[in-house]
Amino acid sequence: MFGFDQKAMMLQMQQALEESKNRLEQAVVSGESGGGLVCIELNGNRKLKSLTINTPIQTMEKEDLEDLLAIALERALEKANALNDQEVSSSARQFIPGL
């Protein structure tokens, strides 16, 4: 079905994809809210690395804390998505000229 050159290219693409995945695993992005009251760190593969709440939670209303968590998570996800898109595009350019 595939010739030798096509198989070699498929293997190179698979290797490049694995390398990208590893780089994204090591990269860390963060999202904050409430002036740093809540900080969420994700890796480039969008896996949670840390969640920090820099205030006693007893002093906050439940809804306020939920809002701060949602905002921080959304900001971290935006950064992780952008990093992921950039990494995938960079890897794809090796194999698809003009991309």
In sequence order, what DSSP letters do the residues of 9-64 get, joined into one string?
Answer: HHHHHHHHHHHHHHHHHH-EEEEEETTTTEEEEEETT--EEEEEE-S-GGGS-HHH
Q: What pLDDT, on the 0 to 100 scale, is given for residue 92?
A: 72
- Average pLDDT rounded to a whole number, residues 27-44: 97
All domains of the chain in start order, with CATH: 24-93 (3.30.1310.10)
Q: Is 95 helix (H, G, I), strand (E, B) or coil?
A: coil
Residue located via tokens 């820099």: 54
**Tens digits of residue pLDDT in 39-82:** 999 999 999 999 999 999 899 999 999 999 999 999 999 999 99
